[in-house]
A and B are shown apart, each in its own frame.
Chain A
Amino acid sequence: MTTTTLAVLVPLLPFLAAAAGLLIGRTAPEFVRPLAVLPTLASLVLAAVVASRQGGGPAIDAATRLTPTGSVPIDLALHLDGFAVLVAVLVALVASCVQIYSTAYLRDDPRYPSYAALVSLFTSAMLLVVYSGDLMVLLVGWEVMGICSYFLVGHYWETPEARAASLKAFLVTKLGDVPFLIGLFALAADTGSFRITRILGAVAHGGLDHPTVIALLLLAGVAGKSAQFPLHTWLPDAMAGPTPVSALIHAATMVAAGIYFVARLLPVFASSGAALVVLAVMAAVTMIGSGLAALAQDDIKRVLAYSTIGQLGYMSGALAVGDRGAAVFHLVSHGAFKAVLFLAAGVVIHAAGTNSLAAMSRMSGLARRIPDAYWTMTVALLALAAIPPFAGFFSKEAVLVAAEHTALGHRHVAPAAAGWTVLVAGLLAAVLTAAYATRLWLLAFRGRGAEAPDHGRQPAAMTAVLWVLAVPTIALGLSVGVIGDWFDGHRLVPSLTTAVLSTGVGLVGGLVTYGAWRHTTALAARVPMGSVVAHPDAEPALVEIEAIEARTAAYGPAGDAPDPADPGRLLLGPLHRHAATGFHLDALYAALFVRPVQAAARLVRFLDREVVETYVRGSGTGARWLGTAVRRAQTGNVQTYLSALLAGSLVLAVAAVVFANVNAGS
């Protein structure tokens, strides 16, 4: 089979699996698990074959006219270059692991068939985004991912947090998607086509007429989808969904879609220096703000959520300095280790019976209970903190190298200001990343206190995928020499200065955190804190829901716990209170947008009920009054009736006679 056919099958198989799952999920439940796992695995195999065939060489294009629109036609097009095939392999790998993990995680869940179908649909949409060569088809995949994330984040819709979170995720990403759509239309109007190849060709030859406007509009959608400041507020709250969903959506795929899109169309963005500077500033703010916020969070998944936001900031920083190879390299490696982190966090929550770090730090021996999760999480945290020789080190280095070269003037794709912003912010963020990664590891696995409850061995499906994903986490760094060939051709090896600098600041951050932890951990014994759920045999998803509810019940809806033994409090000092709420951005948005909309809704309801309804009721009342008035004439007295009748006839007769006289000229 040709590469094109295989590439068409890659998004098609999960889509068919989703359709079949939705149709027969209830009638034939024994087929649900195979239907969830096997097509995604097949898709992974096919994606790998496509990648090996493409091999980083010239792009493979294939297209068929989908619909003529009168002005700019829409094609069903494939554009397979090195970026596309590698990201597709990542997506398919993470999706397969998530499906296998979910069979154990949600084993007793009554809504598992629809969940699995939605995950398959999501996978298919992301693969469509990755492989698509036409922007409208890409948009279809983009939007389908949006709606699937709404359904999946809201999987535990019995809890109010999940309902609110799914709606928030949907609305905030949609807020970015509207300017995104306008930007797509503007881009097509300027270049005359939705095809990526033609757009890039037009940019190369003649340039765009309105590069900054288009770039900023498109960046709005990217900011929403990839959770960059200011549209990042949905991501921490989306942790109310099941952990495998977080691993798929918020680590490897959906949030990566924005970064991937910019990487695909980087020449469009690069033609506007102002847009690149804006992107750099966004990335810087995101990196530093999310790092500080992650240090203050108590929920283990929220730490990882803010970490994702920060790492996406790194990727957008790389794009801001015009190096898409570095950005996608970091995307791939981040996808691997963040998936490990989330999936392992799921195991940790199941084993500990809580998602609160404060509670976990008062449990000892947790690491012994879950050795697979412990070791893989350790490896992934080291990768996150960019410690050599793990994958995170090499990919982060690529970003910082690109920033340094741009800042010093060796690369001219982006303005130097963008380069300096990204470089400085990146180094600061490296400190913060190492700090919160260390904090997470220490609080979760080095707790002191009562023995952690024994929930038996974790299911094999959950632990096996951890090791599967740990392989690229460890080994992806080895490909640093050749991976550049798959991308734009220039090498992505780290330079010595940046390597030493970033590793140094990382180690500094880690050690400072360790010191703070040693200092505060003595306090832990004095202040008991717990929000632990103990369900030895329950499925992990059920434990997760109850852990979320127990944590909210114990500590309130705030992100942090009132735990004096938390090293983050010592490190952040007066900033801790603000960092815990994400620097009050949610409150600001509520005041700016939510409350006016609710007030407007109340106004509309008032107008409808009091003003419009009044007219409606008034017409009824008016008719009734008219009826009452007319009824006054129905006295029942025949003589009155007759008088009226005769008077009327008389008037008519006189009128007729007068009229005849006047006409006849009597």
Chain B
Amino acid sequence: MTPALAAASAAPGFLSPTGVEIAFVLVGIATLGAALVTVTTRQLVHAALWLIVALGGLAVEYLLLTAEFIAWVQVLIYVGSVVVLLLFGLMLTRAPIGRSPDADSENRLPALVVAVASAAALVWVVVDAFRTTWIDLDGPAQGSTKATGSFLFRNWVLPFEALSVLLLAALVGAIVLSRKGGRADARAGGAPAAAPDREDER
């Protein structure tokens, strides 16, 4: 276990511990605000864009926590591809560009209640449990690329390979699901309509 107070009085990094905390808190506020806008705004495309801000903010947080590799992976994958995919999805489903009146369902009040209640419960439990716990950010970086590469390919090889199989399966599944005229129309129109459609596709 990490010594709590002793680490706090050790030699500081290039940012004082309190400085890291301040930075962390500020970026955290920004991230949280962006996330809140994402889930409340009526403009669908803006929601995606605010999501980018939130994910970027999280990348900065990772950096502050000395997990560099993860920070860059976050930017590359999440901001780079996931959000782009989401934007494509919005486009392909003809999402309204401006304000859309029915962006929220009727479930808002129960959702709000549940979310606020769970937030209160979680925050209280977490604060109560980790009141006297400090992270020691001095010492070797935990998440440098070198360290990541070594633990990933030494200790986590098998899950890594399994993950690639999973990615392959997801790829194949996405292709199968999005075939036009094969699976989708058969469900809607019945078997006789599927045959000529399949002919069309071939």
> In the complex, is A directly touching B at CB under 8 Å?
yes
Binding site for B on A (CB under 8 A): 637, 639-640, 643, 646-647, 650, 653-654, 657
The reply on B117 being an interface residue by CB < 8 A is: yes
Do A650 and B125 touch across chains, with their CB atoms under 8 A apart?
no
Of the candidates B105, B107, B114, B117, the one having the most CB atoms from chain A within 10 angstroms of its own CB is B114
> In the complex, how many angstroms separate the beta carbon of B119 from the nearest chain A beta carbon?
10
Distance of A450 Cα from B125 Cα, bound (Å): 120
User: What is the CA–CA distance of A58 and B121 in the complex, to the nearest angstrom?
Assistant: 108
Contact status A639-B118, CB under 8 Å: no
- List the A side residues contacting B114 at CB < 8 Å: 643, 646-647, 650
Chain A residue nearest to B109 (CB atoms) is A643
Complex contacts, A646 vs chain B, CB 8 Å: 114, 118
CA distance A657 to B114 in the complex (A): 17
CB-nearest residue of chain B to A643: B110
The reply to whether the CB of B111 lies closer than 8 angstroms to some CB of chain A is yes
Nearest opposing residue in chain A for B110, CB measure? A643
- Distance of B110 from chain A, by nearest CB (Å): 5
Chain B contacts with A in 171-194, Cβ cutoff 8 A: none
Nearest B residue to A661 via CB reads B128
Residues from chain A with a CB closer than 8 A to the CB of B117 are 647, 650
Who on chain A is nearest to B118 by CB? A650
Taking CB atoms and an 8 Å cut-off, the chain B residues in 11-47 that contact chain A are none
- A643 contacts B125, C-beta separation under 8 Å: no
**Distance of B64 from chain A, by nearest CB (Å):** 30
Q: Which residue of A lies closest to B113 (CB)?
A: A647
A residues less than 8 Å from B121 (CB atoms): 650, 653-654, 657
A637–B107 touching, CB < 8 Å: yes
A-B residue pairs in contact (CB < 8 Å), sample of 9: A637-B105, A640-B107, A647-B110, A647-B114, A650-B114, A650-B117, A654-B121, A657-B121, A657-B125
Nearest B residue to A645 via CB reads B114
Complex interface: chain B residues within 8 A of A653 (CB)? 121
Cα–Cα distance between A11 and B117 once the two chains are bound (Å):
95
Tell me the B residues contacting A by CB distance below 8 Å.
Answer: 105, 107, 110-111, 113-114, 117-118, 121, 125
| Overall SS of chain A's interface | helix
Cα A242 to Cα B170 with chains together (Å):
95
Query: Which partner residue on chain B sits nearest A654 by CB separation?
Result: B121
Which chain A residue shows the least CB distance to B107?
A639
- Beyond contacts A640-B110, A646-B114: 10 other A-B pairs, Cβ-Cβ < 8 A, are A637-B107, A639-B105, A639-B111, A643-B110, A646-B118, A647-B110, A647-B113, A650-B117, A654-B121, A657-B121
Chain A proximity of B124: nearest CB distance (Å): 9
CB-CB < 8 A to B125: which residues of A?
A: 657
Contact A643 B111 (CB under 8 A): yes
Q: How far is B107's CA from A654's CA once the two chains are assembled, in angstroms?
A: 23
C-alpha spacing A199/B156, complex, angstroms = 106
Docked complex Cα distance between A643 and B105 (Å): 13
Distance in Å: Cβ of A292 to nearest Cβ of chain B: 93
Chain A residues with CB under 8 A of B110: 640, 643, 647
Cα-based distance from A637 to B125 in the complex (angstroms): 31
Q: Which B-chain residue is minimally distant from A666 (CB atoms)?
A: B128
Shortest beta-carbon distance from B120 to chain A in Å:
9
Return chain B residues, CB-CB under 8 Å to A643: 107, 110-111, 114
A331 to B91, CA, bound (A): 117
How distant is the Cα of A647 from the Cα of B112 in the complex, in angstroms? Answer: 11
A639 proximity list for chain B (CB < 8 A): 105, 107, 111
Complex contacts, A657 vs chain B, CB 8 Å: 121, 125
By Cβ-Cβ distance, the 5 closest A-B pairs, closest first, are A639-B107, A643-B110, A647-B114, A650-B118, A646-B114
B102 to chain A, nearest CB (A): 14
CA–CA, A106 and B105, complex, Å: 91
Q: Once the chains are docked, how many angstroms separate the CA of A639 from the CA of B105?
A: 9
Task: Give A653 to B107 CA distance when docked, in angstroms.
Answer: 23
Bound together, the chains give a CA A41 to CA B118 distance in angstroms of: 103
CB distance from B126 to the nearest CB of A (A): 11
Residues of B within 8 A of A640 (CB): 107, 110
A298 to chain B, nearest CB (A): 85
A654 vs B128: C-alpha distance when bound (angstroms): 13
How far in angstroms is the closest Cβ of chain A from B148? 34
Tell me the bound Cα distance from A151 to B37 in angstroms.
96
Query: In the docked arrangement, what's the CA distance between A650 and B121, Å?
Result: 8
**Chain A nearest CB, measured from B158 CB (Å):** 32
**Minimum CB distance partner of A653 in chain B:** B121
A647 to B117, CA, bound (A): 8
Contacts of A650 in B (CB 8 A): 114, 117-118, 121
CA distance A650 to B107 in the complex (A): 18
CB-CB < 8 A to B107: which residues of A? Answer: 637, 639-640, 643
Complex Cα distance, B121 from A653, in Å, reads 9
Report Cα–Cα, A640/B107, bound state, in Å.
Answer: 7
CA gap between A653 and B119 in the complex, in Å: 12
Residues of the B chain whose Cβ atoms lie less than 8 Å from the Cβ of A654: 121
CA A407 to CA B100, docked complex, whole Å: 122
**What is the bound-complex CA distance between A646 and B121, given in angstroms?**
13
Q: Report the separation of the CA atoms of residues A653 and B118 in the bound assembly, to the nearest whole angstrom.
A: 10
- Chain B residues contacting A647 (CB-CB under 8 Å) are 110, 113-114, 117
- Nearest-Cβ distance from residue A646 to partner chain B, whole angstroms: 5
Q: How far is the CA of A278 from the CA of B117 in the complex (A)?
A: 94
The complex places the Cα of A433 from the Cα of B185 at a distance, in Å, of 105
Task: Give B189 Cβ to nearest chain A Cβ, in Å.
Answer: 23
* CB closest chain-B residue, reference A657: B125
A239 to chain B, nearest CB (A): 80
Residues of A within 8 A of B118 (CB): 646, 650
A657→B113 CA distance, assembly (Å): 20
Expressed in whole angstroms, the Cα–Cα distance for A654 and B113 within the complex equals 15
Question: Residue of A at shortest CB range from B121?
Answer: A654
Alpha-carbon gap, A362 to B94, bound state (A) = 111
Which A residues touch B113, using CB under 8 A? 647
Least Cβ distance of A69 to chain B in Å? Answer: 77
Least distance between B142 CB and chain A CB atoms (Å): 30
| A654 and B120 alpha carbons, distance in the complex (Å) | 10
CB-nearest residue of chain B to A651: B117
- Chain B contacts for A637, CB-based, 8 A: 105, 107
> Chain A residue with minimal CB distance to B112?
A643
Specify the chain A residue showing the minimal Cβ separation from B129. Answer: A657
- Closest chain-B Cβ to A249's Cβ sits at a distance in Å of 80
Whole-angstrom CA separation of A650 from B118 in the bound complex: 6
Q: B107 to chain A: closest CB distance in Å?
A: 5
Residue of A whose beta carbon sits closest to that of B115: A646
State the CA gap A646–B114 with chains docked (Å): 7
CA distance A643 to B115 in the complex (A): 9
